Amino acid sequence: MEQLRGLIEQLNAYITTYHGGAVELVSFDGKVVKVRLGGACLGCPLSPLTVKGWVEGTVKQFFPEIDHVEAVN
C-alpha cells in the first residue's frame, strides 16, 4: 500500500505542477484503486481520460494485479 501511495503522490506532483490539478489515493481493496481528483481536474471534461489513460495506465505498469482505477467524490 505504501508503494502505491508513493506512486500516486508522484503522479500528483506532476499533475499539480503541469496542469494545476490534483489526484490523491482514497482507498485500495487489493483490486480496485479509488482516487479523488482536485484542483483544475474538478469539472474538467478530460478528467476521465486522465484517470483511465494516465493514472490507471501508470498504476497498472507497476502493479499489474490491479483491476482498475476509479475516481470518487
Strands 32-39 and 21-28: antiparallel
Mean pLDDT of all residues in 66-70: 97
Q: Assign 1 a pLDDT band (cuts: 50, 70, 90).
A: confident
Domain ranges of the chain: 2-72
73 pLDDT band, cuts 50/70/90, is: confident
Quote the CATH superfamily of domain 2-72. Answer: Fe-S cluster assembly (FSCA) (3.30.300.130)
Is-contact 35 68, C-beta < 8 A?
no
- Give 8-55 pLDDT, tens digit per residue: 999 999 999 999 999 999 999 999 999 999 999 999 999 999 999 999
